[in-house]
Structure formats: C-alpha cells, structure tokens
C-alpha cells in the first residue's frame, strides 16, 4: 500500500531561525527555555537543533514559519533528547514521531546507541508517543519541574534493539 507523502520538511536550524523558533516554542510548550539557551545550543558541536516546516500544497514550497522542532545532544554512546514540540495546530499528524525518528537516526549516525529523556509524568501525549516507540521508564525525578513541582519520568531506548526491529520489519533479503 502506498503511504501519502509527508507534508513536513525538516532541516537544521540556524541563527536566522531563532526568532521563529522562540515564537513556536511559546505556542507549543508548557515552560520555555531561558533566554539565549537555543543560541548556545547552535554553537555546540555535540548539539543538533532541527525545525519542521509544512508544505502549503502537496509537493509545494514549505511554509516560512516552523511547525515543529527537536533538540538533542550526542555525547559518546548517549543521545539526550532535550526538547521536542509540535505546534498545537499541526499535532496528531505524525510530526512528533517523525522528529523523534530523526533524533534517533542522527544520533545513531553519530555513534549513539541509547537515548535518554525526561518528560513530565502528566504529559500524556508525549509519554504515550515515547512508550509506543518502545521507550521504557528507567527512573523518576521527584518534584523535578520548578513551575509546578511535577515529577519527571526518565525514559530510555536502546537503538541496537531498534535496528533489529527495522531489519525484521523489512522482511527477508531476497539477494
Ligand atoms: C508530544 C508531541 C510532540 C506529539 O506531537 P504530535 O505531532 O502530535 O505526535 P504524533 O502525531 O507523531 O503522534 C505520535 C503518537 O503519540 C501519541 N499521542 C500524540 N498525542 C497524543 C495525545 N494527545 N494523547 C494521547 N496520545 C497521543 C499517539 O500514540 C500518537 O500516535 P497516533 O496518532 O498514531 O495514535 C506534542 O503533543 C507536543 O508538542 N506537546 C507539547 C510539547 C511536549 O510536551 N513535548 C515533549 C517534551 S518531553
């Protein structure tokens, strides 16, 4: 069965994108990063920041305004997912999952083999997304979030296992 082409295009963020990124963050997350934090990420070799744009018509040019982003570090074997968000108007259309896939793929390409992330215990959308992707809870940080004292769940996924699943999904090799 043919799957419809994704209307989302992803690319690395640059300093020119910071204003649009901050506006997207303000629309999309419960608590924003401190001023200057994303600019600092752009200067770090081990950090990657990607933006998603939506095509306005099928196959047409992407919007100038980003509708999603993901930020992560790759240090040795560890990929740390720092932030991932999708504009409320663009949710439940596969973009969050696509950004997560991108972080995993890029991290693996850079030598990472395990992902770690923290998520608010009550963030049903994100927790469901991660669990469906195979993330397991490996810890809990009590009262971690300063704004409301909410706990953080520490989730993790081994990417070696993902590579095995991908091979199985691809089926037998005819060659
Ligand atoms: C979490 C977030 C990134 C998901 O983005 P999205 O584009 O809506 O996600 P997707 O469409 O790729 O959905 C992937 C899966 O996540 C789960 N999911 C997403 N939103 C959900 C919701 N509101 N309730 C329950 N499950 C949900 C579903 O399993 C979904 O798969 P399905 O649509 O096939 O059922 C988005 O809700 C968001 O930006 N939230 C605010 C920021 C945030 O909390 N980031 C996480 C920081 S750790």
Give the position, in ligand 1's atom list, of the atom nearest the Cα of 92. Answer: 11
CB < 8 Å & 24+ apart, contacts of 57-63: 58/5, 58/7, 59/5, 62/9
The whole-number pLDDT of residue 175 equals 46
Per-residue pLDDT at 173: 62
Rounded CA-CA distance 160/137 in Å is 17
Query: Please, what's the b/e burial string for 149-163 (b: 16 or more CB within 10 A of its CB; e: otherwise)?
Result: ebebbbbbbebeebe
Active site residues: 118, 130
**Mutational test site, ligand 1, from 32, 68, 129, 131, max ligand atoms within 8 Å of CB:** 129
Alpha-carbon gap, residue 8 to 95, rounded angstroms:
7
Residues with CB under 6 A from ligand 1: 28-29, 84-86, 91-97, 117, 119, 123-126, 128-129, 132
Q: Is 89 helix (H, G, I), strand (E, B) or coil?
A: helix
Length of the chain: 175
CA distances from 159 to 8, 77, 141, 156, 163 (A): 24, 10, 23, 10, 6
Task: Give the pLDDT confidence score for residue 6 in this predicted structure.
Answer: 85
Residue nearest to atom 30 of ligand 1 (CA): 129
- Per-residue pLDDT of the chain (175 residues), as tens digits, is 566 678 999 999 999 999 999 999 999 999 999 999 999 999 999 999 999 999 988 888 888 899 999 999 999 999 999 999 999 999 999 999 999 999 999 999 999 999 999 999 999 999 999 999 999 999 999 999 999 999 999 999 999 866 667 677 887 765 4
Residue-level pLDDT at 24: 98
Report whether 134 contacts 92 (CB < 8 A): no
136-141: strand order across its sheet: 8-12, 47-54, 68-75, 78-86, 114-120, 152-158, 136-141
pLDDT the model gives residue 3: 61
Can you give the pLDDT at residue 60? 84
- How close is the Cα of 156 to the center of ligand 1, in Å? 17
Q: Please name each of the domains of the chain with its CATH number.
A: 8-170 (3.40.630.30)
């Amino acid at each position: 069965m043919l799957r419809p082409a994704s209307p989302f295009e992803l690319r690395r963020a640059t300093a020119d994108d910071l204003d649009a990124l901050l506006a997207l963050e303000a629309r999309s997350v419960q608590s924003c990063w401190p001023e200057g934090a994303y600019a600092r990420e752009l200067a770090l070799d081990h950090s990657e920041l990607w933006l998603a744009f939506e095509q306005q018509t099928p196959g047409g040019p992407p919007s100038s305004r980003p509708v999603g982003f993901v930020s992560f570090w790759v240090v040795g074997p560890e990929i740390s997912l720092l932030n991932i968000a999708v504009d409320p108007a663009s949710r439940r259309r596969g973009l969050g999952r696509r950004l997560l896939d991108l972080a995993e793929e890029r991290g693996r390409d850079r030598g990472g083999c395990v992902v770690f992330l923290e998520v608010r215990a009550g963030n049903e959308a994100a927790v469901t997304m991660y669990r469906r992707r195979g993330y397991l809870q490996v810890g809990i940080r009590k009262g971690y979030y300063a704004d409301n004292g909410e706990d953080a769940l520490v989730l993790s996924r081994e990417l070696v296992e993902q590579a095995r699943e991908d091979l199985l999904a691809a089926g037998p090799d005819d060659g």
